[in-house]
Structure 1
Amino acid sequence: MNGSSFKITLTFTAYKDMDSTKNVFFTVVFIMYIACIVANVTLMLVIYLDASLHKPMYIFLFSLIINGLVGSTAVCPKVMAILLTDVNTISYAGCLTQIFFTATYGVCTNTLLTVMAYDRLVSIFQPLQYHTIMTPQKVKQLLLAADLVPVLCIVGQVFLTSRIPLCKHTLHRILCDNSSVSGLSCGDSIQSRVTNMYAICLVISLLILPLLLVLLSYVKIIMFILKASGKARQKTFETCSPHITVFVNFSLASLFSVTYNRVNRYLPGEVNIFFLFTFFLVPPLLHPIIYGIKNQEIRHSLSKLRKRAIRII
């Protein structure tokens, strides 16, 4: 695609039927976005400042938190600007950028949750060898696999999407995503077929396969819990419950996202905003809250840091 194509402006039509509720939705998105930033930055500081939390599980959690902030920040400021100014357009280059960051959020959250499931699996079935297996080098390799590999794959997806010639310039959306932009193409071109095939490969390798690996991990863990003694059962459940809750929360949000992508053209703008809440705000907001409530080490570290801050003041 030549450089002039990036001067195209795309229009979001989903905002047109929201005139009477724009101020309400702006306020709700703003409050939830600020709460998301505060909750995530607080947990990041707790992990960073407390040396006792410099363990594989919390390193992966730190990366998950950053990823959540990337997802919400890729969408919320633009949505709030449109709700506030009624300028419901975006440049094509800006649209592709938004596709990159939102796809990165969705895919990397999935792969990070898979890596975290593997970490829990090792801690339960090989507790004595845990530190031998989960070495700093191994943690770096897992982070690269969970973050860098998906990012490179998504770069390829965005590049292929940018090569599709566009014949339409309106999206019944509140944000850009790969499937809707691909739908603006000029008929069934070779570029669009290649892009769709590549997208299917990404879905299978980076979404469906990691999901199956997490489910298999928890099948093994559940079988272990059923055979374990009362004390071991309780300890295992406490170890895994934050990750299980986060995984279920994000899986439900992803399921809603898939359903939404199938029927969004028939939905009013208010439902489109609800999609924004469920996928880009609720998971990043709940993840630090869930770990803050369910994880005893984080609660203890947060309490220590709060007492230290009070003494300084």
Structure 2
Amino acid sequence: MDNISHFTVFTLSQLEESMSVKQTCLALSLAVYLLIIILNLILIVTILLEKSLHEPMYIFLCNLCINGLFGTTGFYPKFLYDLISDTHVISFGGCYLQFFVIYTSVLCEFTTLSVMSYDRYVAICRPLDYHSVMTDKIVVKLLLFSWLLPAASLTIALVLTNRLSLCGSHIDKLYCDNWSIVKLSCEPAVINNIYTFIGIIVYVSVVILIICSYSKLITACMNSTENKNKFMHTCVPHLLSLANFTVALVFDIIYARYGSRDFPRSIRNFLALEFLIIPPIFNPLIYGLKLTAVRKRVFRAVKVKGTDLFNVKMR
């Protein structure tokens, strides 16, 4: 790291807009962040407090919501601060921490969705074996897998990036990501590129695993009305979540690797932020509305809370 001894911070891109537009962005971003927190916390608390929801499917859904909060925490506080600041800078340690948190969350989303697809496969294709297969120990192992594989992957990426000598400190993005730092390297980052390629293969394999699971699920559901109902109520939200997140992540990868400076800045910012805005809101909404057990308990809790507040006011 001798070549970067004169650098103490990274500089990030900023919104090249008027103060009034920045204030509007600040209000909208704060509203989105609060909405993400509220929606995900509602599902997390509902699942934790309702004993009838202490089943693998709902536990994995809870994990998905926790991951959504984790990932957005790596972005929104810093971004909101930058909107009211004249200089958009971040320390080296803060930058590495930010990309670690954001992209650990990204990979954890995929591993959690793969675990959920396996759970649905066992529930629909092997219903008699479900409780013997999805034991408490297996659920804990699957949860650990969904977090440890992404964390380990990003730790290795961080170590490989940290060893590079950098010839610049400006990141052409609203937040830190690994590829943006690697592009600042003074030397060819061959090892980083090889590791990235291996990582892509691993996570493409995860997506293939999910697709294979659902191909078997669809085949099994074709011959049973009961299985069709199970598929529509528990698998459709999962497929919508997977499709939404995959499209969002592809946008981010295309932007990071092949984004052209000829694109309008607003489009480039949208491509960079889409997976940090849409999935964290989309997941709790689609699962909360589609899964009957969760929806009923959320509405019941809201109704009870509203009744209690009304009684307090009447007194």
What is the TM-score normalised by the length of structure 2?
0.91
Q: Counterpart of 1:23? A: 23
Q: Which residue of 2 aligns with 1:155?
A: 155
Aligned counterpart, 2:280? 284
Report the count of equivalent residues: 307
After superposition, what is the alpha-carbon deviation per residue over 1:213-272, rounded to whole angstroms, capped at 9, x for unaligned? 11111111122223x243432332222111111111111111211222221544443224
Distance between the aligned counterparts of 2:281 and 2:260, measured in 1? 24
Q: Which residue of 2 aligns with 1:126?
A: 126
CA distance in 1, matches of 2:35, 2:15: 28
Deviations along 1:147-201, one digit per CA (max 9) or x if unpaired, are: 112212211111111111110111211111111100000032xxx2212212222
Aligned-partner Cα distance in 1 for 2:53–2:144: 20
**Secondary structure, in 3 states, of the residue corresponding to 1:90?**
strand
2:255 is aligned with 1:260: yes
The equivalent of 2:220 in structure 1 is 224
Q: Which amino acid aligns with 1:239?
A: T
Residue aligned with 1:184, SS? coil
The yes-or-no answer on 1:300 pairing with 2:296 is yes
Q: Please tell me the residue identity of whatever aligns with 1:138.
A: I
Match of 2:236 in 1: 241
* Comparing 217-226 and 103-112, the one that deviates more: 217-226
Alignment counterpart, residue 194 of structure 1, candidates 191, 195, 206: 191
Question: Partner of 2:64 in structure 1?
Answer: 64
* Distance in 2, Cα, partners of 1:273 & 1:106: 18
CA distance in 2, matches of 1:177, 1:286: 23
The corresponding residue for 1:83 is 83
Contact 1:172 1:265 in 2 (8 A): no
Task: Confirm or deny: 8 A CA contact 1:22 1:83 kept in the other structure.
Answer: yes
Tell me the distance in 2 between the aligned counterparts of 1:158 and 1:292.
35
- 1:168 aligns to what? 168
- Matched residue type, 2:45: L
Residue identity opposite 2:59 in structure 1? I
Matched residue type, 1:43: L
> Structure 1 pair 105/179, CA: closer, same or farther in 2 (3 Å)?
same
Give the conservation status (yes or no) of the 8 Å contact 2:252–2:273: no
Distance 2:221 2:229 in 1: 8
The 5-angstrom pairing of residues 37-52 of structure 1 reads: 37-52=37-52
**CA drift at 1:92:** 1.2
SS at match of 1:18: coil
Q: Which residue of 1 aligns with 2:313?
A: none
Match of 1:275 among 253, 271, 295: 271
Cα distance change on mapping 1:68 and 1:177 into 2, 3 Å: same
Query: What is the identity, as a one-letter code, of the residue corresponding to 1:185?
Result: S
Q: Distance in 2 between matches of 1:94 and 1:268?
A: 28
Distance 1:149 1:171 in 2: 27
Question: SS at the partner of 2:90?
Answer: strand
Give the alignment's TM-score, normalised by structure 1: 0.92
Indicate conservation of the 8 Å contact 1:173/1:264, yes or no: no
Deviation at residue 24 of structure 1 after TM alignment: 2.2
Q: Within 2, Cα distance between the matches of 1:66 and 1:265?
A: 35
Distance 2:207 2:157 in 1: 21
